Amino acid sequence: MMRSARGQTFLLLFASGALLPLALAPFNFWPIAIPCIALLCYKLQHQTIKQAIVKAGVFGFAMFFSGVSWVYVSIHEHGFIPAPLALLATALFCLFLALLFALPFAIAALIPQTSASWLLGLPAIWVLSEWFRSWIFTGFPWLYAGYIHTDTWFSGWAPIGGVMWLSFITALAAATLAQLGSQLLGKKLPIQLGVKISCTILVALSVSGYLLQSIKWTKETGKSLSVVLVQPNTDQNKKWSTSERQSILEQLQEQSEPHWGADLIIWPEAAIPATPKRVSDFLIGIDKTAEVNQTALLTGIPTQDWSNGKYYNSVLALGTAKGQYDKTRLVPFGEYVPLEGVLRGLIRFFNLPMSSFSLGAKDQALLAIAGEPMATAICYEIVYPDLVARVSREATMILTVSNDAWFGDSFAPQQHMQMARMRAIENAKPMLRSTSNGVTAIVDHRGKIERQLEQFSAGELSGNITPRVGQTLFAQTGSWPVVIMALLMCAGLITRRLLRQQPSRH
């Protein structure tokens, strides 16, 4: 019977974890996240450290295997790994992420095993779990619970506490539901005071979030820039072939031709599939054309520092804008290979094109477009809340370029777009998102998509962007207030339990 009950528990946890990504893009059925997390909260009560980690691990594995299954596309279709091995690699990757997700939940076994402690402790542990995997081994800050509120009233809190504060609120709702269910199943009526207080707090947070949406954290600079985002829809499997290079450059030039004279034209990440030295004539020509037409052109391109031989994933400014931004957060295996001396050459996946990049400098000058400073985030960087907050403090608009062609027709581009929108909300700055095959969009300072292109098609998105100056509270503090709050909550609860366990002296 015990084995049967344990099996049912693991099955329920697996199902809940697998369903959680339905709350995020592209499905956006956000309410489902709360009962899914509530089940995990319920099952973590009265557990040993080992039991808590295992149960959280089962939930986490299902969540990642369901929510980041698009990793399989990169490994199989672009890494040329046979399907069974690609599936195994995807499962191992998700198992590793599940372990990182689960480790902080060991704290659940260390706090007082009471209703009030779980209402406070489990949301704090959830936040610590997200924070932990935001930086360990360079981080993988994907599938944060707070993203479910990109379009709800709670988004009004994002400029204050960021996505992790929204995650805390989500987990608080789940912990409250878990305690309510526990008390009803235990036939404990009336409902305990802690659950009533928690419900009241959640209602207050929701209403105040709605009211906070009307606050103007930043203000317009008085300018309006005409912009054109070019989406070339280049075939990823042909992109780095030298025989295709000329046709790719010609297509970029042809798509831009009708739009010279706009304040800004943007080509996506690695739009030019060669270093500047190899396409110098093309760049000189484009630079002159852009300058003559008083247009700033930004393009993704791999660059090389000839003084040290290092390669960078960069955005290069041409025409009326000058400068360069080098990416500071690299994708493991995609842009660099951990343990390169051992893994490089082992299988084709470890030899993907442009997988030998170096980190750009931490503090780089902002690119300026018509006198307006622009913060830049290349692809993966946009999913790091604190990074974007830091670089966008003095900026009046945010640019993110990406090449999501690596992930095909999967959840990844829509998930990526949702996270980019949250960065716009957190910092109250408008955003331009230029991608190789979608989602290419113009986003306002409240995270609303004003215009976007259809995915998997070549096209140009024309529109205007209104720069904004100022800083939100989150832009100034980042996630640290929420993380410190979660750490203090857990530390306080653990201390309280330890003090209670000490024998009394009489």
Angle between helices 193-212 and 158-185 (to 10 degrees): 150
Is there a single domain that holds both residue 263 and residue 238? yes
Q: Is 94 a catalytic residue?
A: no
Is there a single domain that holds both residue 431 and residue 495? no
Catalytic option among 269, 335, 381, 460 = 269
Is there a single domain that holds both residue 344 and residue 309? yes
Number of domains the chain is built from: 2
Q: Which of 329, 335, 324 is nearest to 297 (CA)?
A: 324
| DSSP structure class, residue 299 | E
Catalytic option among 130, 327, 372, 429 = 327
Is there a single domain that holds both residue 488 and residue 467? no
Separation of alpha carbons 104 and 106, rounded Å: 5
Is there a single domain that holds both residue 207 and residue 258? no
Q: Is residue 168 part of a domain?
A: yes
Sheet holding 397-402, edge to edge: 367-369, 372-378, 397-402, 431-435, 441-443, 449-452
Is there a single domain that holds both residue 339 and residue 306? yes
- CATH number, domain of 439, equals 3.60.110.10
The residue behind tokens 């082992």 is 346
| DSSP structure class, residue 120 | H
Q: Is 199 a catalytic residue?
A: no
Q: Is residue 437 part of a domain?
A: yes
- What is the reported pLDDT for 354? 55
Q: Which domain holds residue 9?
A: 2-216+479-501
Q: Is residue 506 part of a domain?
A: no
The residue behind tokens 């599939």 is 273
Q: Which of 373, 372, 334, 331 is nearest to 350 (CA)?
A: 334
In a 3-state reduction of DSSP, which class is residue 357?
Answer: strand
Strand 367-369 and strand 397-402: pairing? unpaired
Separation of alpha carbons 243 and 189, rounded Å: 74
Separation of alpha carbons 209 and 257, rounded Å: 45
Query: Distance from CA of residue 96 to its chain's centroid?
Result: 18
Is there a single domain that holds both residue 342 and residue 197? no
Q: Is residue 461 part of a domain?
A: yes
Catalytic option among 36, 41, 94, 379 = 379
Q: Is 0.85 surpassed by the pTM of this model?
A: yes
Which tokens is 291 given?
Answer: 């300058």
Is there a single domain that holds both residue 315 and residue 453? yes
Q: Is residue 419 part of a domain?
A: yes
SS3 labels along 416-450: HHHHHHHHHHHHCCCEEEEECCCCCEEECCCCCEE
Q: Please list the pLDDT of the chain residue by residue as tens digits (506 residues).
A: 567 788 899 999 999 999 999 999 999 999 999 999 999 999 999 999 999 999 999 999 999 999 999 999 888 887 778 999 999 999 999 999 999 999 999 999 999 999 999 999 999 999 999 999 999 988 899 999 999 999 999 999 999 999 999 999 999 999 999 999 888 877 665 678 888 999 999 999 999 999 999 999 999 999 999 999 999 999 888 888 999 999 999 999 999 999 999 999 999 999 999 999 999 999 999 999 999 999 999 999 999 998 888 999 999 999 999 999 999 998 876 676 655 554 445 445 445 555 578 999 999 999 999 999 999 999 999 999 999 999 999 999 999 999 988 888 899 999 999 999 999 999 999 999 999 998 999 999 999 999 999 999 999 999 999 999 999 999 999 999 999 999 999 999 999 999 988 765 54
Is there a single domain that holds both residue 201 and residue 53? yes
Q: Is residue 423 part of a domain?
A: yes
- What is the reported pLDDT for 332? 75
| DSSP structure class, residue 329 | S
Separation of alpha carbons 115 and 300, rounded Å: 52
- What is the reported pLDDT for 342? 46
Q: Which of 402, 378, 407 is nearest to 391 (CA)?
A: 378
Is there a single domain that holds both residue 414 and residue 387? yes
Q: Is residue 156 part of a domain?
A: yes
Residues facing residue 451 across a β-bridge: 442
Q: Is residue 200 part of a domain?
A: yes
Is there a single domain that holds both residue 363 and residue 418? yes
Is there a single domain that holds both residue 209 and residue 253? no
Q: CB neighbours (10 Å) of residue 257?
A: 9
- What is the reported pLDDT for 102? 98
Q: Is 379 a catalytic residue?
A: yes
